[in-house]
Every structure is written in C-alpha cells, then in structure tokens.
C-alpha cells in the first residue's frame, strides 16, 4: 500500500485538529497518514535515538527525539528521529522542553516502512535541508541501504557492512557502520 494524501486543507486547519494515531503529516497542502511503526522500524528508531543521545546529551550538544512534530515553512512533519542542537531547543520560561517545535531539525532521520513512498520521504528530507537542517538519513531496512543527504553534495548511498555512516559535525563522536545499525535488528536466542 502506498501512502496517499487524505484531503486538501490549510496548515492552520491541520494544526487545529486533534493529534491522531497513526500520526498525520501536512505536506504541500495535503494530509498524509504515516504508517504505524512495525518491529524493525521501532527498533531502529529507539536504538538510533539512544545512540545519538548517548554522545550528545550529557555535554549539552544536541538532543534526539523520536516521532516529534516539527512545523516550519508551510509543512508539519513527524520525522522518525529529529535531532536538535542544544542551543536551538525550544524551551519554556521554566527551562522545560517546549511541546511545540516550529523549526527544522538539525538532523532528520527517516526509516522507510514497506507501505511508505520513498519519494515523499525524500521530499521531507530535502524540505528540512532547504530550511536549515545539516543532514538527513533515509534508512531502508528491506534493502539494507542507508542514504545520506547534505546541502553540499548529492545524496550518498551506503550498502557495505563496513561503511561508516557520516554524521553531522556536532555528533562526530558517534561512529556507526551500516552493519552495526542493521545488526540491531538481530535477536539473540538463548538456549535453555
């Protein structure tokens, strides 16, 4: 099943509606329903968020959020993982994280689900890059490929287990190979 738009409305109309499950995104005046996360998608999303936060949070460099709504430049998207530099984090007067993020993530990570259209996901990543994001990743668990996107060069594809996947400069302590990322999907079975 390919992700198809629901109907045409304005961004203001979209944002006035209650949140839904599965979540919906507003792209080019149309509402798209994101497929519910399945096992591989959820596992990669969790492990990536934790790995990024492990090297960026304690030093207040950046913070990774799974499934966070980001509304900016006429679109409202929900990246699988949105990473924000610490000094760009929206905060309330009391110092707590704000609920609304009206800016592009500094690093967007999307994990392709079988029901998703790669073109729509790529369009979201390019929209983020056009509005200040430093990097985008598109992970395809089915084909075991990772695509990276930056503003300064064409997309790159990584397909070898030994390939070190580039990260934004602020997360340079994060060293992950394609093989390490996809090994997170392996389940160790204990013998009884």
Burial of 94 (0-12, 13-18, 19+ CB in 10 A): exposed
Collect all residues with Cβ–Cβ distance below 8 Å to 3 and sequence separation of at least 6: 32, 33, 34, 35, 115, 116, 117, 120
User: pLDDT tens digit string along 3-39?
Assistant: 555 567 899 999 999 988 889 999 988 888 888 888 8
| Full-model pTM | 0.91
Q: Please compute the mean of the pLDDT values over residues 58-83 and round it to a whole number.
A: 97
- Tell me how far apart the alpha carbons of residues 171 and 59 are, in angstroms, rounded to a whole number: 11
Q: Please compute the mean of the pLDDT values over residues 56-62 and round it to a whole number.
A: 98
Report CA 89 to chain centroid distance, whole Å: 16
177 within a domain of the structure (yes/no): yes
- Tell me how far apart the alpha carbons of residues 92 and 97 are, in angstroms, rounded to a whole number: 6
189 within a domain of the structure (yes/no): no
149 within a domain of the structure (yes/no): yes
116 within a domain of the structure (yes/no): yes
Q: How many domains does the chain have?
A: 1
Mean pLDDT of all residues in the chain?
93
7 within a domain of the structure (yes/no): no
Instruction: Give the CATH number for residue 155.
Output: 3.90.1570.10
66 within a domain of the structure (yes/no): yes
32 within a domain of the structure (yes/no): no
Q: Mean pLDDT lowest for which of 20-24, 121-125, 179-183?
A: 20-24
pLDDT value at residue 52 = 98
pLDDT value at residue 1 = 41
Q: Look up residue 63 and give its two tokens.
A: 């913070």
User: pLDDT tens digit string along 82-117?
Assistant: 999 999 999 999 999 999 999 999 999 999 998 888
pLDDT value at residue 56 = 98
**Boundaries of domain holding 122:** 37-183
167 within a domain of the structure (yes/no): yes
- Tell me how far apart the alpha carbons of residues 26 and 9 are, in angstroms, rounded to a whole number: 9
Collect all residues with Cβ–Cβ distance below 8 Å to 74 and sequence separation of at least 6: 11
- Kindly report whether the peptide bond that precedes residue 32 is cis, defined as omega within 30 degrees of 0: no
- Tell me how far apart the alpha carbons of residues 188 and 93 are, in angstroms, rounded to a whole number: 46
Is the predicted pLDDT of residue 192 greater than 80, yes or no? no
């Amino acid at each position: 099943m390919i992700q198809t738009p629901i109907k045409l409305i304005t961004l203001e109309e979209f944002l006035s509606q209650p949140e839904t499950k599965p979540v919906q995104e507003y792209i080019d005046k149309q509402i798209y329903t994101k497929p519910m996360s399945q096992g591989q998608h959820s596992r990669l999303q969790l492990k990536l968020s934790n790995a990024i936060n492990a090297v960026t949070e304690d030093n207040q460099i950046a913070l990774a959020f799974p499934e966070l709504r980001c509304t900016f430049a006429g679109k409202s998207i929900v990246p699988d993982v949105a990473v924000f530099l610490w000094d760009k984090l929206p905060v309330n007067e009391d110092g707590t994280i704000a609920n609304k993020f009206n800016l592009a993530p500094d690093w967007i990570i999307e994990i392709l689900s079988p029901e998703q259209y790669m073109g729509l996901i790529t369009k979201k990543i390019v929209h983020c890059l056009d509005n200040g994001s430093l990097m985008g990743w598109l992970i395809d668990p089915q084909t075991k490929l990772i695509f990276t996107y930056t503003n300064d060069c064409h997309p790159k594809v990584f397909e070898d287990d030994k390939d070190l996947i580039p990260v934004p400069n602020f997360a340079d302590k994060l060293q992950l190979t394609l093989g390490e990322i996809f090994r997170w999907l392996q389940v160790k079975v204990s013998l009884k």
